[in-house]
């Protein structure tokens, strides 16, 4: 099975070590949620997995291929990255922005397939009615859904047998409640079609409801990984997020959800995970 894997990755930005010995593996057909407090290194780790961020040590591979040895065009055909913020100042129409996701395939795929990919992406993200609008005139939430459609178009295939990976950095941050769940439902459907999906999220309950596996980062280190019910325990959440919580069981899914108690645990007992590891 072709996997996307980072092994023992160190990243230094300026004078700061952002990731230390971080490892993670993503399999086709699973949704992995990356969690952690602000500054934990989540976005940097996602950029490492995408090949956008070079590492000081360790390696990152898709299958047997090291990402640093792949050409940008070849890498773009294997994975798509939706960054936390996408700056676009030119007055492109929404459909044109989504169609940018097909740029890596224009020389190898016929025009009709590219049109189908764009149409499917617009439909999946429920923005077909925005296709003729100017991107810069949209709300923040609408722009975020356009960027999601762009990366969906990039990973669209006529045949779902081809391994590919979708990396989403806070894809729900600007969305209302209904669209937050819509995006995660879509991520699950993509995983069911064989896409390996990694999503950085801040909402622990979204991770508990939708992810097959969660990865917890703190101080640039991976401190826990596993099924949400096994990892998202009150003791770990208190140590990582400085917040006391308790769990309740969702009657529909059986998943355990996180409810804050309102007690903020800022104290000397918070774990220094660099020392603990």
**251 domain-assigned:** no
Q: What is the CATH number of the domain that holds 61?
A: 3.40.50.300
pTM for the whole thing?
Answer: 0.90
Which of 142, 53, 140 is CA-nearest to residue 94? 142
pLDDT in the model for residue 265: 57
Helix, strand, or coil here: 111? Answer: helix
Give me the number of domains the chain comprises. 2
- Residue by residue, DSSP assigns 215-265 as EEEETTEEEEEE-HHHH--HHHHHHHHSEEEEEEE-TTT--EEEEEEEEE-
pLDDT single digits (tens) 153-174:
999 987 767 789 999 999 998 8
What is the Cα–Cα distance from 184 to 207, expressed in whole angstroms?
9
How much helix, strand and coil, in percent to the nearest 5, is found in the chain?
40, 30, 35
* Contact criterion met (CB below 8 Å) for 218 and 40: yes
The DSSP 8-state label assigned to residue 47 in this structure reads: H
DSSP single-letter state for residue 58: E
CA–CA gap between residue 127 and residue 95 (Å, rounded)? 9
Q: In this structure, are 189 and 58 located in the same domain?
A: yes
Question: Are residues 74 and 99 located together in one domain of the fold?
Answer: no
pLDDT of residue 54: 93
Residue 151 belongs to domain spanning = 85-162
Given a contact cutoff of 8 angstroms between Cβ atoms, the answer to whether 139 and 189 are in contact is no
pLDDT at res. 87? 76
Q: 106, 134, 162 — which closes off a domain?
A: 162
Chain CA centroid to CA 225, Å: 15
Q: How confident is the model at residue 271, as a pLDDT?
A: 45
What tens digit of pLDDT does each residue of 191-247 get? 999 999 999 999 999 999 999 999 999 999 999 999 999 999 999 999 999 989 988
């Amino acid at each position: 099975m072709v996997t996307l894997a980072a092994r023992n990755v160190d990243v230094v930005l300026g004078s700061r070590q952002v990731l230390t010995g971080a490892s993670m593996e993503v399999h086709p057909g699973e949704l992995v949620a990356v969690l952690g407090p602000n500054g934990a290194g989540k976005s940097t780790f996602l950029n490492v997995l995408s090949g956008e961020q070079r590492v000081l040590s360790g390696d990152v591979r898709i299958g047997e291929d090291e990402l640093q040895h792949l050409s940008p065009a070849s890498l773009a055909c294997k994975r798509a990255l939706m960054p936390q913020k996408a700056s676009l100042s030119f007055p492109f129409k929404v459909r044109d922005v989504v169609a940018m996701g097909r740029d890596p395939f224009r020389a190898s795929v016929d025009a009709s397939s590219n049109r189908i990919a764009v149409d499917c992406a617009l439909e999946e993200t429920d923005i077909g009615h925005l296709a003729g609008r100017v991107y810069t005139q949209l709300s923040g939430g609408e722009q975020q859904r356009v960027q999601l459609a762009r990366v969906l178009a990039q990973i669209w295939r006529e045949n779902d047998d081809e391994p590919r990976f979708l990396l989403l950095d806070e894809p729900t941050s600007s969305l209302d409640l209904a669209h937050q769940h819509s995006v995660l439902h879509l991520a699950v459907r993509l995983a069911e079609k064989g896409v390996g999906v990694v999503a950085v999220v801040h909402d622990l309950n979204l991770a508990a409801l939708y992810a097959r596996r969660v990865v917890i980062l703190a101080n640039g280190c991976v401190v826990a990984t596993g099924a949400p019910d096994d990892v998202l325990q009150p003791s770990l959440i208190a140590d990582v997020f400085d917040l006391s919580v308790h769990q309740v069981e969702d009657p529909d899914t059986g998943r355990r959800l996180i409810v804050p108690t309102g007690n903020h645990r800022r104290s000397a007992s918070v774990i220094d995970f660099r020392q603990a590891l």
